[in-house]
Amino acid sequence: MDKIHLKHSPIIKEVEIPLPASKSESNRALILNALSGNLSQIQNISEARDTQTMLKLLASEEETLDVLDAGTTMRFLTALTAVGNQTRILTGTPRMQERPIKILGVALKQIGAKVKYLKNEGYPPLRVKPIIEQKTNHIKMKGDVSSQFISAILMIAPSLPKGLSLELKGKIGSRPYIQMTLDMMRLFGVGANWTNQTIEIRPQQYKEYPYTVESDWSGASYWYSFVALADNATLKLKGLRQKSLQGDIAIVHMMNQLGVMSTFEADGVLLQKIPHASEVSIDFSDSPDLAQTIAVVCAAKKIKCTMTGLESLRIKETNRIKALKKELKKFNVKLKEIEPEVFELRSNFEVSTAPIEIETYDDHRMAMAFAPLCTQQEIVIKNPDVVKKSYPGFWKDVELATQ
């Protein structure tokens, strides 16, 4: 499907949305299960392409593992290979081969793995030979790059003969994702000590643990956006927990400022419209995947927004900062860097009588973040199948809520 046309739908039906399972939780649970000997039952595994790719490759005995465009899968499997018993080549799509992995590669080499880049230094494809002898039990990594590098190292740490002390340098980004990893490791029988900038993990054995994956808070964020922007809307999102391991539960507080109240119930959360602020300042360091959603809501509601903590957006599926600037400009909205790594969104949002086409840049979050603008006018989303990466049923759910 090249394009999907979304009709102007200012009213959102009072429906229940069966959210997909969390990709972040699913991918971690699958790695932890593999490290514990595949003894655990993992329930409600995500149907997202990234997770299904992870499942397929974990079962593969081939030398070459093609992760397609799944960044988490690339990083987690690279680290897993380092404590395995088989040399592997990890590769992916052309875009994946432009996404840096050197920080993880350096860390694995310091510990004792052999890592060779087969095309461009610091980028996939790469060959990883497992650790035969652990060279050190103390390494340092930058804290403000993708937390997936850090999580990948943490999950293999207890399998190392000497354990590991991981020192995070500088600002720590996406802290809740690191904490999620440690919390899930604890459920699978492994303890860790996080003091200031250092995480210490002694040699330990993972244990069997029956794990049920929660619904996806990242996926929930787009429905908060629909409610915020619609003239009238009350939605129930199924399968979300008030006490969640997922950092993107931060959307509850963010959207409370932007006009959506959350009421937790036994089987999910009820969303209802409330008044919104005229100006907000949000730090996305802990939840960068919410930035596009918030930017679009602020644009359409003409809320002045100061955004920080966007550093990692440049190395995602696309350069998300650049993509946001380009697509928001179509609605007379400016996203400007007013000082280093501080962005200001100023909106003179204009509704067009003609449909506006949204480029998605092979990025699932661009497609889903801009979809709620159909509450304002007719829009066209190009390459809509990109949502299969994390939320395969998204367009079906949009149809349920808008028609």
Tens of pLDDT, residues 289-309:
999 999 999 999 999 999 998
pLDDT in tens, 358-371: 999 999 999 999 99
Q: Residue 317: what pLDDT?
A: 67
> Is the model's pLDDT at 313 over the cut of 90?
no
DSSP SS3 for 190? coil
What's the rounded mean pLDDT across residues 320-331? Answer: 94
- Name the pLDDT band for 316 (thresholds 50, 70, 90): low
Instruction: Report how far residue 108's alpha carbon sits from residue 115's, in angstroms, rounded to the nearest whole number.
Output: 8
Which CATH superfamily includes the segment(s) 3-20+215-402? Enolpyruvate transferase domain (3.65.10.10)
Eight-state DSSP code of residue 171 = P
Q: Residue 291: what pLDDT?
A: 94
Q: Residue 87: what pLDDT?
A: 98
Q: Of the residues 289, 362, 363, 385, which is catalytic?
A: 289
> Is the model's pLDDT at 219 over the cut of 70?
yes
CATH fold of 23-207:
UDP-n-acetylglucosamine1-carboxyvinyl-transferase; Chain (3.65.10)
> Is the model's pLDDT at 120 over the cut of 90?
yes
Eight-state DSSP code of residue 384 = G
> 60: which residues sit within 8 A by CB, 6+ positions away?
none
> Is the model's pLDDT at 339 over the cut of 70?
yes
Average pLDDT score over the chain: 95
The pTM of this model reads 0.87
Compute φ and ψ for 10, nearest 5 degrees.
-70, -20
Is 289 a residue of the active site? Answer: yes
Q: Containing H/E element for 346?
A: strand 342-347
- Name the pLDDT band for 127 (thresholds 50, 70, 90): very high
Q: Where do you find CATH 3.65.10.10 in the chain? A: 3-20+215-402, 23-207
* Other residues' Cβ atoms within 10 Å of the Cβ of residue 32: 23
Expressed in angstroms, the distance from the first to the final Cα of the chain is 20
Instruction: Report how far residue 151's alpha carbon sits from residue 79's, in angstroms, rounded to the nearest whole number.
Output: 9
Going 79 to 84 to 89 to 92, the CA torsion angle's sign is negative
Number of DSSP helices (H) and strands (E) in the chain, helices first: 12, 21
What's the rounded mean pLDDT across residues 56-60? Answer: 97
Compute φ and ψ for 347, nearest 5 degrees.
-120, 125
> Is the model's pLDDT at 315 over the cut of 80?
no
Instruction: Report how far residue 226's alpha carbon sits from residue 371's, in angstroms, rounded to the nearest whole number.
Output: 8
What's the rounded mean pLDDT across residues 172-188? Answer: 93
What's the rounded mean pLDDT across residues 36-49? Answer: 94
Q: How far is CA 22 from CA 216, 240, 268, 273, 306, in A?
A: 4, 10, 14, 25, 28
> Is the model's pLDDT at 248 over the cut of 80?
yes
